[in-house]
Chain A
Amino acid sequence: MTVDRVLGLGAILLAIPVAAASWGFGVGSPKSPGAGFWPLLIVVAMAGLGLSLLLHPSQAVPSAATQESRWGRLWIALGTMAVYVVTLDPLGFPVATTILLFVQLRWVESRTWRSSAWIAALTPLIAFVLFRVLLKVPLPAGVVPLPRGW
């Protein structure tokens, strides 16, 4: 199935529950539109475009094939970002970012242990001081004890 057909089918399948929800918000009438009027118009257009893609897909252009060796790196990169979201508040910006950078530098980008450790340790600290102290952006400190006034 080509990308166009998947998109077309996806658009039609999405349109059905969204149309039902829009109806629930109250569609109103053309002279007094309700909250569901606009979303309903959008999904009608979406379904039409989806049908058009389903019936007249453009010639299939193969998407770029992933090199076998890079799949693992991709998953590690995505995984570290997910872990970052979960740990940012409890661990704080400096520690969570150090972990994110170290894993990405060492295992996604294959840098040496030494350069990964240096960059991962120093960059979050510099960014933390720059943003928290100089630019007054309240980044979470988490487990890192802060000097008074920071």
Chain B
Amino acid sequence: MDTIGPLLHGFAVALTPGNLLAVLLGTLIGTVIGVLPGLGPTASIALLLPVTIGMDMVPALIMLAGIYYGAMYGGSTTSILVNIPGEAASVVTCMDGYQMARKGRAGPALGMSAFGSFIGGTVSVVAVMLISPFLAEAALKFGPPEMFALLFFAFTCIGGLTGKSRTRGLLMACVGLLLGTIGTDDIQGVDRFVFGTLYLRDGIGLVPLAMGLFGLGEIIYNIEQREETGSVLETPKNLLPTLRDWKDSAWPIARGSVLGFGIGILPGGMPAVASLLSYAVERRVAKRPEEFGHGAIEGVAGPETANNAATAGGFVPLLTLGIPTNSVLALMLAAMMLHGVTPGPLLLLKWPDVFWGVIASMYIGNAMLLVLNLPMIGLFVQILKVPYGILSPLIVMFVLLGAYALNNSVTDVLTTVLFGLVGYLMKRHGLEPAPLVLAFVLGPMLENNLSKALIMSRTGSPLFFFSRPISGTLLACAILVLAFPLIRWGWRRATGRRPAPAGA
């Protein structure tokens, strides 16, 4: 399949002045959001969704994508300098990045993190570009049974890949599915769980739900649990890593790129999971694992590469199958819908400008981030010096403003505050909001495809799904994922191994 021609067309789209400005704005806003603790990419994209409604479709999506991968770049700055992760994917960067900063090596840590992010992001965009057309072509042959099986497989994965307990993750996902049923049923036109209100007939909005759970929930939690952490808030002078740093980081960056992309395309494969796995892998293969946690540059290079690679990788299932693999991409899906674009196999055929324009903008954005971010590190240090006590109420204001602005509805603000409270309680008790939000988005698609597939089967038998090779294979995979704890338990019993203690 020819990809060079369409890619050049994509560059022609992305390089127009308006779209270049959208890339620049998106990456800058994303980086600042990543730098600021407490306002993650999910809440930020939700906040900016209403603003993009007035924009043209392509620059709007280019800007939102830029915010997402820009936030991944920015998150490491806060981890390294202040020991607070700017967003979830930078949590592991605190471990070695901050230790490097304490030893006076903040510059190489920030520099290597930026170079790793650039390499991981770019490698991943190349892979997205090469894989997506083939996957989209294959997905064109998918009927409702295949789509249901694929979505069900995605659903089983999100429970397992987030948080510490699979059962809790799946339960949260079920709550998300149930919330997704609120409103008028698409097929029969029956009102479900609306309690006589007009507001609920359209269902709960994704934006108030996501902004409440992720944005307000985090802020309220931080009001309650503020920890004083150390910080190394001086503008680092030399940002360029030494030859030795490059030698130590080359393989972690290579492994991080592959691992990050692989995790990114999986359902539930959030950048945070990719960075955590990369850290675990690097520690395991390191010649001097005892240096991890004390300022090993491999512990910065690998995870920072992996989270950017995963960010780009997540665009494969979103653009080709219409399946978001994490909550940020769920909002990207909502943004595309708002602009009348339906992500999925037909995106490449119907809206090639969107597909190739966004892909090309990601190349440009990654390069822009590298060129702009290193010289702007002084500015980010100044932003970080603004006390959190001032930032926190301002973030609350922007979250509530964003909630109102989407539909000019006070009820949306109320919904956001209520989900903020739920998000706070979930965070306080160690429950992950991501499975809930993802299942909320996947739920209506799951129901729609299940109903159509059952009607297609004429008998209503679940065996119908196994009579078709693709849906049968995908459902078998989903059953394996669900049964994995049982298989592991049986294996341990058979081999006489004791289970590892919780938390180990």
Contact = CB atoms under 8 A, between A and B. Distances in A.
Interface residues of B, number: 63
A61 to B, nearest CB: 6
Interface string B453-496: 01101111110000000000000000000000000000000000
User: Interface residues of B: mostly helix, strand, loop or mixed?
Assistant: helix
B86 interface: no
A63 B242 CA distance: 43
Nearest to A74: B224
Contact of B170 (A49, A108, A110): A49
Contact of B405 (A30, A61, A137): A137
Contact of B450 (A33, A67, A131, A138): A33
A89 B410 CA distance: 7
A33 B54 contact: no
Given A74-B224, A137-B51, A105 B450 contact: no
Nearest to A66: B224
A52 B167 contact: yes
Given A7-B171, A26-B190, A53-B171, A39 B461 contact: no
A85 B457 contact: no
Contacts of A58: 164-165, 168, 502
A38 B428 CA distance: 31
Contacts of B462: 30
B389 to A, nearest CB: 4
Interface stretch (B11-19, B174-182, B292-300): B174-182
B420 interface: yes
Interface majority SS (helix, strand, loop, mixed), chain A: helix
Interface stretch (B311-319, B354-362, B390-398): B390-398
Given A3-B429, A77-B220, A88-B413, A35 B187 contact: yes
Nearest to A110: B389
B421 interface: yes
Nearest to A18: B178
Contact of B225 (A30, A37, A66, A138): A66
B140 to A, nearest CB: 26
B238 interface: no
A45 B459 contact: no
Given A66-B225, A108-B223, A81 B396 contact: yes
A78 B171 contact: no
A78 B396 CA distance: 11
A109 B390 contact: yes
A31 B459 contact: yes
Interface string B385-429: 000011011101110110011001010011001001100000011
Contact of A84 (B174, B181, B400, B421): B400
B50 interface: yes
A26 B190 CA distance: 9
A63 B192 contact: no
A57 to B, nearest CB: 9
Contacts of A29: 460
Interface string A18-29: 100100011001
Contacts of A127: 397-398, 401
Contacts of A26: 188, 190
B142 interface: no
Contacts of B342: none
A84 B413 contact: yes
Q: Which of B216, B400, B420 has the most CB of A within 10 A?
A: B400
Nearest to A3: B429
B392 A109 contact: yes
Contact of B178 (A42, A49, A97): A42
Contacts of B177: 42
- Most B-side CB within 10 Å, residue of A32, A53, A137: A137
Contacts of B165: 4, 58
Contacts of B171: 7, 11, 46, 49-50, 53
A64 interface: yes
B413 A85 contact: yes
B451 interface: yes
B447 interface: yes
B430 interface: yes
B174 A85 contact: no
Given A46-B174, A138-B408, A63 B429 contact: yes
6 contacts: A39-B181, A63-B430, A64-B428, A101-B394, A109-B393, A136-B54
Given A7-B168, A46-B171, A139-B401, 9 more contacts: A29-B460, A30-B462, A39-B193, A46-B175, A82-B417, A85-B413, A104-B393, A109-B390, A127-B401
Interface of B: 50-51, 54, 164-165, 167-168, 170-171, 174-175, 177-178, 181, 185, 187-188, 190, 192-193, 216, 220, 223-226, 389-390, 392-394, 396-398, 400-401, 404-405, 408, 410, 413-414, 417, 420-421, 428-431, 446-447, 450-451, 454-455, 457-462, 502-503
* Nearest 7 Cβ contacts at the A-B interface: A30-B460, A31-B460, A109-B389, A35-B190, A104-B393, A35-B188, A38-B447
